[in-house]
Amino acid sequence: MDAGRAAGRRDDRLTVPAAAGPAQRLRAALGAVPRVGLAALPTPLQPMPRLTAHLDGPRLWVKRDDLTAGALGGGNKLRKLDVLLAEALREGADTLVSGGVVQSNSQRQVASAAARLGLDCHLAVFHGRVAAPGPAYDEGGNALLVRLFGATLHAVPWTGDRHGAIAGLADALRMRGRRPYVVPYGASSGPGAAGYASAALEIADQSAAAGFEPAAIVHCTGSAGTQAGLAVGAHACLPRTRVVGIDIDAEPARVAADVRRLADAAATVLGVDRVPPEAIEVVAGHSGPGYGVAHAATHEAMRVAGRLEGLVLDPVYAGKGLAGLISLVRAGRWRRDDDVVFVHTGGEPALFAYPSPFAPGG
Kindly state the number of chain residues that form the binding site for ligand PLP, as judged by CB under 6 A. 19
For ligand PLP, which stretch binds (CB under 6 A), given 126-134, 142-150, 166-174, 224-232? 224-232
Residue 75 contacts ligand PLP per CB under 6 A: yes
In angstroms, what CA-CA distances link 47 with 37, 60, 317? 27, 6, 21
Cβ closest to ligand PLP, residue 140 vs residue 225: 225
Q: What's the closest the beta carbon of residue 34 comes to ligand PLP, in angstroms?
A: 21
CA-wise closest residue to 273 among 7, 52, 21, 69: 21
Residue 190 contacts ligand PLP per CB under 6 A: no
Q: How far is CA 60 from the centre of its chain?
A: 20
Residue 345 contacts ligand PLP per CB under 6 A: yes
Provide the mask over 83-122, with x wherever binding to ligand PLP is found by CB under 6 A and - wherever it is not. Answer: ----------------------xx----------------
How far apart are the C-alpha atoms of 71 and 67, rounded to whole Å?
5
Residue 142 contacts ligand PLP per CB under 6 A: no
Q: Considering only residues 13 through 32, tell me which ones interact with ligand PLP, judged by CB under 6 A.
A: none
Q: Considering only residues 299 through 328, tell me which ones interact with ligand PLP, judged by CB under 6 A.
A: 317-318
Neighbours of 90 (CB within 10 A): 12
Q: What's the closest the beta carbon of residue 138 comes to ligand PLP, in angstroms?
A: 18
Is 17 exposed, middle or buried, given 0-12, 13-18 or 19+ CB atoms closer than 10 A? exposed
Residue 223 contacts ligand PLP per CB under 6 A: yes
For ligand PLP, which stretch binds (CB under 6 A), given 24-32, 113-121, 166-174, 341-349? 341-349
Instruction: Please enumerate in sequence order all residues whose Cβ is within 8 A of that of 247, keeping only pairs 6 or more positions apart, or say none.
Output: 220, 221, 222, 255, 282, 283, 284, 285, 286, 287
**CA atoms lying within 13 Å on the CB side of residue 305:** 26
Residue 265 contacts ligand PLP per CB under 6 A: no
Q: What's the closest the beta carbon of residue 35 comes to ligand PLP, in angstroms?
A: 17
Residue 225 contacts ligand PLP per CB under 6 A: yes
Q: What's the closest the beta carbon of residue 168 comes to ligand PLP, in angstroms?
A: 21
Residue 43 contacts ligand PLP per CB under 6 A: no
Residue 226 contacts ligand PLP per CB under 6 A: yes
For ligand PLP, which stretch binds (CB under 6 A), given 15-23, 170-178, 218-226, 290-298? 218-226
Which segments within 202-325 are labelled E, that is strand?
216-221, 242-247, 281-283
Angle, CA 102 vertex, CA 227 and CA 347 arms, to 5°:
45
Residue 140 contacts ligand PLP per CB under 6 A: no
Indicate if 356 belongs to the active site. no
How many residues in the chain? 362
For ligand PLP, which stretch binds (CB under 6 A), given 123-131, 173-181, 277-285, 345-353? 345-353
* Phi, psi angles (nearest 5°) of residue 70: 80, 150
Is 26 exposed, middle or buried, given 0-12, 13-18 or 19+ CB atoms closer than 10 A? buried
Residue 298 contacts ligand PLP per CB under 6 A: no
Is 93 exposed, middle or buried, given 0-12, 13-18 or 19+ CB atoms closer than 10 A? buried
Cβ closest to ligand PLP, residue 28 vs residue 244: 244
Q: What's the closest the beta carbon of residue 75 comes to ligand PLP, in angstroms?
A: 5
How far apart are the C-alpha atoms of 59 and 83, rounded to whole Å?
33
How far apart are the C-alpha atoms of 275 and 127, rounded to whole Å?
36
Binding site for ligand PLP (CB under 6 A): 75-76, 105-106, 186, 188, 220-227, 317-318, 345-347
Q: Catalytic residue numbers?
A: 104
